[in-house]
Amino acid sequence: MSKVGFSLLGRQGWQAGFVYTTNLLRSLRMLKPDGMAFSLVLSGEDVYLPEEFRNLFHEIIFYPFYHRWTPTWCIDGAFKRLFRRDLIRDLFLARQQINVLALSEPPRGCNIPTLAWLPDFQHVHIPEMFSLRERKNRNDSFMRIAHNATRIILLSDSVKRDFESFAPPHAHKARVVRPASYIPEAAYERSPRPVADAYCLPEKFIYVPNQFWKHKNHEAVFRAVRLLKERGLEVIIACSGNLVDYRHPEYFSHLLHLVSSLGIRSQVAMLGLIPREHVFALMRQCLCVLNPSRFEGFGLTSDEARSLGKRTLLSDIAAHREQNPPGAVFFDPRDQEDLAKKMAEVWRESLPGPDPEMELEARASLAERMKAFGEAFLSVLKEVL
């Protein structure tokens, strides 16, 4: 029996890593690989995890906790300084018979093979979105992971190219494990209209389910809405996602002021963080899912829309082009005129509510896409076991 110890990706306010892990474990459990057990390795017992997520693992184990200035704390600190070894965690993983660590950075001095995970190189492509200190911290962290990990799991070929440029000596470690977004059957069991009604949305709207982070480019959407209003077309936009950009904490306030100054307050609904089942319902009800982002390592929004069977309007960036979901329309994220033109076409040509034909095709292909996701990950596991 081989035991794979998974770290918990994601954090409060950033759900993409958590969703990636969930989808990956679902794909692996679908494949039912012989002789493998999946453990979730956590640092604290106070971590809240939904029961549905816990059930994806065979067991959940916790790193030992020790207080400052205790003998164990002092011994551990000495080993880290003198021998560059995270002694306590290394011995703990050995006792737990973990054969591979997945989606994490290995403890210092650990001999267990590690499949580390790097989401993207956004700080390289759009450095103006980060402080000088954060860019340096990311560079240092990414290079350390590249050096220490046995393999590097990446979301797309575009991120793989970035990794190869960033760390050429470690390029041979890169492996693309392209995600597929799981959609529960319950998402199709009810009409999405009551959920839209609960948020006071009209029947017809375009949906932007992105975090309110600066690089997600909501500003371009709002300026395009203003352009269309000046031409006599009033497009309704619904936006959901985390309201706080830790790098630009004033950004959401800026967006609110922009919407008011453009005179489009009645055309933009800011919903904040909403339950995932509501996200899926609004995706089904809307005219199309719009992702105007300036940069993505993969593009979770567009892949979820693809898995659900919804038309997409996507920024013309490398990750979105690589996905190329059926029926996607691409626009230049720096050209508000281009976006306005594409939005107008969607508004005039599309119908609100579920598209039975697209949903049928999406549901038929999702099982194979999930299978490919799991098999790609298992292939990397087998390399290091």
* Both structure tokens of 367: 């099982």
Q: What is the pLDDT of residue 232?
A: 97
Q: What is the pLDDT of residue 247?
A: 85
Q: What is the pLDDT of residue 304?
A: 97
Residue 298 near residue 154 (C-beta atoms within 8 A): no
Domains of the chain in sequence order: 2-181+368-384 (3.40.50.2000), 185-363 (3.40.50.2000)
Place of tokens 């809307």: 286
Global confidence as pTM: 0.91
Q: Tell me the β-bridge partners of 174.
A: 152
Q: What is the pLDDT of residue 17?
A: 76
Q: What is the pLDDT of residue 5?
A: 94
How many Cα atoms occupy the beta-carbon half-sphere of 343 within 13 Å?
A: 33
Q: Which segments in the chain show pLDDT lower than 50?
A: none
Q: What is the pLDDT of residue 42?
A: 86
DSSP letters for 323-359:
H--TT-EEE-TT-HHHHHHHHHHHHHH--SS--HHHH
Closest to 287 measured CA to CA, from 338, 335, 241, 237: 237
Burial of 335 (0-12, 13-18, 19+ CB in 10 A): middle
